[in-house]
Structure 1
């Protein structure tokens, strides 16, 4: 045991300002955040939060790793990672299967999934997909769930289409090259297609399946055992997104492209800026609810509606109660 003898106020001050105590004060909780898909500039607020010291200010050191949404939730439930950033639909499916996961920050207030097709394809509604080849990134992906619901609402099933699994980095190119007739992926990729001169037909999944995009999740055990850590983490996430919203889109993208997604084409910054300005900032990260309660606020009624629709269309066997797996960040630690 290390013992210290303090005889005067001056010696106490010297001790507290010594490198030894400074190193203790600077110690941060190391956490692993597993993000849906692969490293991409769309996660720039999180990368910027680390680079600008926002997480550090909240006493947290973050390691980013990546996986499919279903794998993230399995890892969260097993305690293999501390936090996850999967799509909301996948969280509902995980909760329906009894996994002990908790949404602690509804970062994306709406879903960004969409069916994209070339304007020349003649595909204007889900009914037009009969006999067509549709690409998704994984049969465990949220977009695959959205495809199933969209088809069922149109009176079709998976038997009426041909589903192709195409990697995240190649799915847009598969549409451009005519290898598939449509993709169910992210509405943000519309900007890439249009920049290349492709006229795009887009059907937003959120129009028929109100849902959420990426959200912060942790395990029930971690939330219960260490609410302070969860609170500090969600606070850092909120502050990171606020920094970007408050006039730092370009700065955040520069950080992402230089340090976290270096293989992403640098000439895509203009397209990404447009996506952030026209989609992310006004209607994905912010909503009427966040104006009242702050970023990450949880709309339990909307979450329940999402779960009920997935159950209605037999994507999941039964709808879990939103209150059992969704937590508003303002209530953490109270």
Structure 2
């Protein structure tokens, strides 16, 4: 760009700046309510000022930070956002309470939750968790919900274990022996390994029930009345994920500037690699990123009902939209 400027292109750019400002003023604003602060694993969104995926679709992206999937849905239902980045558990709970919502994109079709034990513990299977102390982020977190699902698959329940709230720094209690196992996510485990947790055994919930970890969700009214804008938003979102998968090194470098936890480029790359793996499934390889798997989501909804996490059955086919993404 500096060489082009020296050849006179700089003058052309200057002359065109009013046109650029006029174009930007014509962009349609769209607000995405997230479950998190601006962290490395969502660098595909944070990179918008640099990459312009949404701008190319005529959209001005606004990211609204949150503190969990339930928070993202509250911001959506209150009208502060157009789309929510949330987990299936929060989605099911909102539907159970009467909210009219649609899931429109599967962000992470792979289950990213796990239960981790120290290798010396001898705990290697869900059935070994009986009578043990297990850490979770909070009682309303996905770590607890997925622990319940894992126990259910082994014929156990929370009555068979002791659940301990450890907060986000849940690997310290494991190392210190305050819990026998801890429920976490794949990125949480990557960070713990980086910080020297040592040899561990990982029980992946996805090997027992592999369903989506996060979805893009909209209000039913938005789905019915604003399909063009949603299609453009999803096209841009898919393109941003394709970039993150195709250029992980560039994404890790941008995270150093854009993410609040992005100081370590090597750690950024680890987190991005983990997230990229969770963004792809056999179904998305055939039909494109974001494709919703109705069968696995229905299995999850049925499991939530059996656990008493929701009070009524949910017919997943009635609360997802399959017509907004091109195959």
TM-score by structure 2 length? 0.84
Distance 2:105 2:71 in 1: 19
How has the CA–CA distance of structure 1 residues 317 and 19 changed in structure 2, closer, same or farther, with 3 Å as cutoff? same
- Cα deviations by residue, 1:158-206 (Å, 9 ceiling, x for unpaired): 23333233333x2233334434332212023333333325111111112
Q: Go from structure 1 to structure 2 and tell me whether the alpha carbon gap of 1:56 and 1:179 turns closer, same or farther (over 3 Å shift).
A: farther
Residues 149, 315 of structure 1: 8 Å contact kept: no
The 3 A distance-change label for structure 1 pair 181 and 222 is same
Q: 1:37 to 1:134 in 2, by over 3 A?
A: farther
Q: Secondary structure at the match of 1:106?
A: strand
Tell me if structure 2 keeps the 8 A contact 1:135–1:182: yes
Name the structure 2 match of 1:209: 209
Indicate how the Cα distance of structure 1 residues 221 and 192 shifts in structure 2: closer, same or farther if over 3 A, else same: same
Q: Contact 2:104–2:324 at 8 Å: present in 1 too?
A: no
For residues 138 and 32 of structure 1, the distance between their equivalents in structure 2, rounded to whole angstroms, comes to 27
Q: Tell me, yes or no, if structure 1 residue 34 matches structure 2 residue 36.
A: no
What is the DSSP-based 3-state SS (H/G/I as helix, E as strand, rest coil) of the residue aligned with 2:214?
Answer: coil
C-alpha offsets along residues 3-51 of structure 1, whole Å, 9 cap, x if unaligned?
xxxxxxxxxxxxxx99489615642222332222443211122222443
SS in 2 for 1:42: helix
Q: Check the 8 A contact 1:70/1:141 in 2, yes or no.
A: no
In the other structure, the counterpart of 1:327 is 321
Q: 1:59 to 1:298 in 2, by over 3 A?
A: same
Gaps (5+ residues) in structure 2? 1-15
Residue 316 (structure 1) shift: 2.3
Secondary structure class of the residue paired with 2:66: strand
Correspondence list, 1:1-334, <5 A: 19=18, 23=22, 26-64=25-63, 65-168=65-168, 170-195=169-194, 196=196, 198-246=198-246, 248-261=247-260, 263-266=261-264, 269-277=265-273, 279-281=274-276, 283-328=277-322, 330=324
Where 1:111 maps in the other structure, the secondary structure is coil
**Aligned equivalents of 1:322, 1:114: Cα separation in 2:** 24
Deviation by residue 1:201-244 (Cα, 9 ceiling, x = unmatched): 11111222221012211111222222122112111110001112
Q: C-alpha separation between the residues in 2 aligned to 1:173 and 1:37? A: 22
Alpha-carbon distance, 1:113 to partner: 0.9
Runs of 4+ in 1 over 6 A off after TM superposition: none
Answer whether contact 1:138 1:166 (CA < 8 A) is retained.
yes
Scaled by the length of structure 1, the TM-score of the pair is: 0.82
Aligned length: 309
How far off is 1:154 after superposition? Answer: 2.9
